Amino acid sequence: MKPELTISKDVITIDTKTALNGEDILHLTNARAIDDRTGQDISSKLLVNMANVNLGQAGMYDATISILDENGSLQPLREIAIKIVGNTADQNAYNQQPQQNMRRRSAEPTQLQQQSKAQQQPQQQTTKEDEQAANNEQKKPRKKKKGCLKKIIYLLLGILAIYLVWTGISYHQTRQKIDDQGSQIAELQRKNDSLGDQLDTANTQIKELRQNYKATKNAVKNYKKDEDGYRQQYVSQMQQVSQSLASLKQQLDNQTQQSGFLYNVLNGRLDNLQTTVNQMISAQSAEQAQNILDNYKWYK
């Protein structure tokens, strides 16, 4: 039976700069699992499959919250959605353009007023002296206009240089962020592949454990039929099972990091069955061996 799973929300929204893993999803959704038979909190057994999520790429993706059942297999419980949105820096720059346009428009009437005032200056053509004075007055502003034009050109060049430098710095920073995000995505993919390898190892270990347990039950069954005839065969089969369990233990230590939930579960089951087999080898009768086997608990 499926355990009872409760979460606070089905959709998680992040931006392309956020690095997200399974533990973050369990925290953001407040995921909590309760054993429907014992009422025990088994939230520590929850895992999240993010194989279809492409971090750093905007879009809507699906992720699955699963749990590791008593047989060591992943059991899907619920699907959630992960919404990845783009950066808002371009949108903010776009929103600032109307303000700049308003400033330019407000400056245009002022320039028009200045030009109209200059055109409305009275022209006195009375005498030659007045004409020469007017000509002298017109020459002076032209020199000033030439000086102002140079200042404006220098100012524009300075602004252009600052813009080019700022653009180069922004491009470098953006490129660095993209490289960092690529490294984070690669690391998440590596962890996901590693988890998949550990799950494959766990399924193989559990399958071989079941085969050894089945061999143990068959040996006890034959032993009960004829204690004298099958005593030696029973002891030999128990010793073979013990050697197989020791080999499984060595494989588990070599193929995993000797830490984490999967390792603890498999290691505990191996030790439990190994202890039971050692006790059964020392059993003095078929009935005693059967009692030891009956006390064996698979899930411990």
Residue at token pair 């030439």:
146
Q: pLDDT tens-digit profile of 147-193?
A: 788 889 989 999 999 999 999 998 888 888 898 888 888 887 776 66
Give the orientation angle of helix 261-281 with respect to helix 128-225, to 10 degrees.
10
Indicate whether 271 pLDDT > 70.
yes
Run of H or E including 269: helix 261-281
Q: Please report which confidence band the pLDDT of residue 197 belongs to, taking 50, 70 and 90 as the band edges.
A: low
Q: pLDDT tens-digit profile of 92-124?
A: 433 443 344 334 434 444 443 444 444 445 444
Q: pTM for the whole thing?
A: 0.31
Label residues 156-177 b or e (16+ Cβ within 10 Å = b). Answer: eeeeeeeeeeeeeeeeeeeeee
